[in-house]
Amino acid sequence: MVKKMKKERPVHFLNLDDLAPDPHIFEYGGKEYKLKVLTTREFLKLRKTLDTMKDIGGKELTTEAFEASIEFIKPVIPDFPVEELDNMSTAQLTVLFQFCAEVITGPSLEEVKKVRGTKKEGS
């Protein structure tokens, strides 16, 4: 009996799991805290705060800016005690905000193009 060979052809393959972020962790007070992977809906809720913070970039940071950054950080790091945000230095809070903002904005367009361009042989 002769087996028919299946014709193999390239198939465009998008593996969304490749875009799943690795855990992002920071240390404060000798303890490690993991950033939450936000859903699109959660991110959209925070987008206004993120835009506000970008608008004040380079300007003197106001009380409003620090309060906005705290409100932005809280849902991103739900296990982090809120009172610790109040106890941080301005440098610590600013860097933590920047870290959270960079992490939650997701992959760059180049990263998406790499995944989109991946091919998988179909059977």
Give which of 26, 33, 25 is closest to 80, Cα–Cα: 33
**Mean pLDDT of the 55-59 span:** 57
Structure tokens at 84: 């610790």
Cα–Cα dist 92/78, whole Å: 18
Name 36's Cβ contacts closer than 8 Å, sequence gap at least 6. 75, 76, 77, 78
pLDDT at position 4: 60
Confidence (pTM):
0.67
Structure tokens at 49: 């705060």
Q: Is the model's pLDDT at 121 over the cut of 50?
A: no
**Mean pLDDT of the 84-92 span:** 91
- Phi, psi (degrees; rounded to nearest 5) at 96: -65, -40
In sequence order, what DSSP letters do the residues of 10-51 get, joined into one string?
EEE---GGGGSPPP-EEEETTEEEEPP---HHHHHHHHHHHH
pLDDT at position 16: 80
Cβ(107)–Cβ(114) below 8 Å: no
- Phi, psi (degrees; rounded to nearest 5) at 108: -75, 165
